Structures are given as C-alpha cells and as structure tokens.
Amino acid sequence: MSRVRVVALGRLAAGDDGVGTAVLADLRRRGASGDLELLDLADAAHLVTILLESGRVVLVDAVVGTPPGRVIEPTPEELAVTPHPVALHGFGAGAAIALACALSSSALELQIVGVTIAPPVRPAIGLSPEVAASVPIAADRVLAVIGARRTLA
C-alpha cells in the first residue's frame, strides 16, 4: 500500500472549525503511523499543492450542516455547494479541490471525512460537546476509508 496523507483543515482556536485537527490528534494518540502521514493545515490554499503532489489524500474538515457532530463523507461537489462553507479567508476546501482538479494532468485520489457543525457566528475556543463527541467516530471513519479509493477527474 502506498503512503496516504491524512490532511485536516481548520484551527482549534476557531471553535468547531478545529474538528479536523482534533481528529488528527486522536489518530496520533492511537499511534496511527506507518503508511499514514498526518498533516494539519490552517489554510485551504495549501491543500491545492498537497493534492497536486500526493497520491492518496483523506481530507478531514468541518462542514456546515445539521445536526452538529454528524460524521459524513461528502463529495467534492457537495463541499463546493455548501450554503455556508467554512472558510476563514474566503477559500474553502471545495474551491481548493476544484482548483487542484483543474490544474492536474491526472486524476486525484481523494476521500473526504466531514463533521457537521453549526454556522460559526463568533470566535470560540474548543469544540462544542456534540462535535467533540464525534471526534473518535470521525477518526474511526478515516481509518475505515483508507482502504477505499475515489478518483477525481
């Protein structure tokens, strides 16, 4: 099996938007290693380079939706049409994936594990109880999708 990059978007200091980072921390506590490379990103713009330079990527990100704390596997297209994309700088995961697809000369291998959050209304530190409870479930889902493949043209 080739090396898989598990990439989390978000910041712990941004409330529930930091759920991806919390999932990576859970994977590290479990000793996830070997063929996994765990990467934290605060800015989705850096995701473009990672998608273009990597083989397989599993993206872990917060997705606005209800109820908060639900673990989902959205498609890139679903991320692109999220009514309230979680993007602190105007460039979210959906836009980064679309740009990487447009720039790539080959298909991208990508799986997405999302955790639904309420639309952010003010700065917050730490995760809400509902989203915090979903962290081990999302980590389990990441480990489960490592064997699955999704290629994007």
- What topology is assigned to 4-152 in CATH? Rossmann fold (3.40.50)
Residue 57 confidence (pLDDT): 93
From the list 55, 48, 151, the residue with the least C-alpha distance to 99 is 48
* Burial (0-12, 13-18, 19+ Cβ within 10 Å), 46: middle
- 62 close to 117: Cβ distance less than 8 angstroms: yes
From the list 97, 135, 98, the residue with the least C-alpha distance to 115 is 135
pLDDT tens digits, the chain, 153 residues: what are they? 478 999 999 887 789 999 999 999 999 998 876 778 999 998 888 899 999 987 899 999 999 899 999 999 998 878 766 654 555 446 788 888 888 988 988 888 899 999 999 988 777 889 999 999 999 999 999 999 986 554 444
